[in-house]
Amino acid sequence: MRDQDGLAERFEQDRGRLRAVALRMLGSSAEADDAVQEAWLRLSRTDAAEVDNLSGWLTTVVGRICLDMLRARSTRREDFLDDQIDDHLAPAATVAGTNPEQETLLADSVGLALMVVLDTLSPAERLAFVLHDMFAVPFDEVAPVIGKSPDAARQLASRARRRVQGQAPDSAVQDQARRRQVVEAFLSAAREGRFEALLSVLDPDVVMRSDAAAVRLGSAAEIHGASTLADYWNGKAADARVALLDGIVGAVWAPRGKVRVALSFTVTDGRITAINLTADPQQLTELDIAIFN
Return mean pLDDT, the chain: 79
pLDDT tens-digit map of 100-131 = 444 444 444 444 456 656 767 788 888 888 88
pLDDT at residue 74, as a whole number: 39
pLDDT mean over 78-88: 38
pLDDT mean over 81-98: 36
Q: How many angstroms separate the CA atoms of 261 and 252, rounded?
A: 6
pLDDT at residue 47, as a whole number: 82
Q: Fill in the DSSP letter of residue 250.
A: E
pLDDT at residue 105, as a whole number: 41
pLDDT tens-digit map of 167-224 = 555 555 557 778 888 999 999 999 999 999 999 999 999 999 999 999 999 999 999 9
- Cα separation values, 184 from 77, 125, 193, 270, Å: 34, 37, 14, 12
pLDDT tens-digit map of 44-71 = 888 877 888 888 889 889 988 988 888 7
Model confidence, pTM: 0.47
Question: Which of the pair, 6 or 243, is modelled with greater confidence?
Answer: 243
**Is residue 19 classed exposed, middle or buried when 0-12, 13-18 and 19+ CB atoms within 10 A define those classes?**
buried
> Do the Cβ atoms of 262 and 284 come closer than 8 Å?
yes
